[in-house]
Structure 1
Amino acid sequence: MSVHAVRYKTVDLGEVEMFYREAGDVAAPIVLLLHGFPTSSHMYRNLIPQLADKYRILAPDFPGFGYTKAPPRGAYAHTFGNIYKAVQSFIHALGLERFAMMVFDYGAPIGFRLAAAYPHRISAIITQNGNAYEEGLREDTLRPMRAYWDHPTAANRDALRPFLTAEATRSQYTHGVPKDKLELVSPDAIAHDQTIIERDLELQLDLFGDYKSNVALYSRWQEYLRTTKPPVLAVWGSGDPFFDPAGAYAFRRDVPDAEIHLFDTGHFALETDGAEIAALIRDFLSRKAV
């Protein structure tokens, strides 16, 4: 693989100025990388150069995350619907007609919204702990969040604040990671993510509450998968405290030839198993003629 420099760019989308990372030949097939909570396109910092020799890689930061600039809470509703609209505008602004996408965590509901709205644009889907099925939701972890969805009281909102602490962010990176892999987890990534969270805790709590809008759309996304049957590769950290491996295998219900690979690691599988995941992605995309 040749080395391609990563370029750091912004695009004006109106009320949102979206930051994104780009690498690779602009004429190459496109792979869109959509990040999750509580991180940004920074989570793909090591993967991007491993794919950029054959593909044009684009990795935006969502509003409320990373370096993307959006109006503050109160002037702008930080919801998954508005994140989707911003990414939709990003795709239109860059003229992306067809692309593969990799989704993770929060990136999954954004990516599947895109796929359901523009099925002809999606050439393949790579999901890394990116859920679209109830089976993948770990109820023991998500029970306080469901309580807030059902009863959005101040007390139930406050019960979610422990998810925003530095200890919780560190746990997202280390939970389910074998001891011999812990030294592969970057402390810089943990610090980066905690800085994002602490910019506006209430914004993050708003998104926790709005996550129920994603679960409500699962049946629509499953219908898209069932009727369109895009190539699907699921690469999953089996020790993820939020998304169970059952969520990976569930894709086979609607896309029977979905390729499923579990890794003995946690939520941020790219931190510990990035080289192996990159190799699977390269093989998958080459075979699917993306």
Structure 2
Amino acid sequence: MAVRHPERLESLIIQNGNAYEEGLREFWDPIRKYWNDRTPEDAKPLAEFITPEGVNWHYTHGVRNEASISPDNWEADLYHLTKEGNPAIQLALFYDYKNNIPHYPAWQAYFRKHQPPPLIVWGINDYIFPADGAYPYKRDLKNIKFHLLETGYFVLEEDGVRIASLMRKFLSTKLTLK
């Protein structure tokens, strides 16, 4: 939407949202392999992401305090991820992500041209979209509010109150009520 209708956006809030190839590191190696050769053999490592251990890992890897993360989160996700037909849907989503990458240059051009005020909040310990993908926003966006938080992929699970405060402060200075 931002690229097609830049006039519709007043600001950006980006939470571990990748728009740069620098943000696709080791985690993506088995997924890249699947992109190149979509075989059942290449799909096997990806199935690990929707096991109880894999879903738990998504929520707890890189957090400061695992005990502060409610197991209800991954139990609810696991319930839905393992429903009949959903593993195939997850594989299709992994495969489809490769279609985002060719759009990265257009997104970056949008950032440079339109300069929407950005708030970046990112888990510095995120292994899926590492902080390497957060820093390039600084190349393309001016007046950036940039926060690396000492947590993992699901930053809201551990730092939701802090992020809500950052968002309120950011939006109070960026939104125009119409």
Q: TM-score range by the shorter chain?
A: over 0.9
Opposite residue 186 of structure 1, the aligned amino acid is S
Matching residue within 109, 123, 138 for 1:237? 123
CA distance in 2, matches of 1:197, 1:130: 21
Q: Which runs of 5+ in 1 are unaligned?
A: 1-113
Task: Compare the two structures and name the one with the higher helix fraction.
Answer: 2
State the TM-score, normalizing by the size of structure 1.
0.58
Partner of 1:168: 54
1:72-111 equivalences under 5 Å are none
CA distance in 1, matches of 2:42, 2:119: 36
Contact 2:111 2:140 in 1 (8 A): yes
**Equivalenced residues, count:** 174
Q: Tell me whether 1:131 sits opposite 2:18 in the alignment.
A: yes
Percent identity among equivalent residues? 43
Q: Tell me whether 1:252 sits opposite 2:138 in the alignment.
A: yes
Counterpart secondary structure, 1:230? coil
Residue 247 (structure 1) shift = 1.3
CA distance in 2, matches of 1:127, 1:192: 24
Partner of 1:184: 68
Partner of 1:115: 2
Task: Compare the two structures and name the one with the higher strand fraction.
Answer: 1
Residue 269 (structure 1) shift = 0.7
Residue 246 (structure 1) shift = 2.0
Partner of 2:81: 197
Opposite residue 118 of structure 1, the aligned amino acid is H
Contact 2:11 2:117 in 1 (8 A): yes
Please give the root-mean-square deviation of Cα atoms over the aligned residues, in Å.
1.1
Structure 1 moving runs of 4+ over 3 Å = none
Partner of 2:158: 272
Matching residue within 220, 223, 237 for 2:106? 220
State the TM-score, normalizing by the size of structure 2.
0.93
Residue 256 (structure 1) shift = 2.5
Over residues 218-274 of structure 1, what are the superposed CA-to-partner deviations in whole Å (9 max), with x where a residue is unaligned? Answer: 111111111111011110111111111121121111112221101111111111111
CA distance in 2, matches of 1:243, 1:184: 22
CA distance in 2, matches of 1:269, 1:162: 22
Opposite residue 122 of structure 1, the aligned amino acid is L
CA distance in 2, matches of 1:218, 1:176: 26
Bigger relative CO (Cα 8 Å, ≥ 6 apart): 2
1:21-100 equivalences under 5 Å are none
Residue 123 (structure 1) shift = 1.2
Residue 159 (structure 1) shift = 2.7
Counterpart secondary structure, 2:80? helix
CA distance in 1, matches of 2:51, 2:101: 25
CA distance in 2, matches of 1:266, 1:211: 21
Residue 158 (structure 1) shift = 2.3
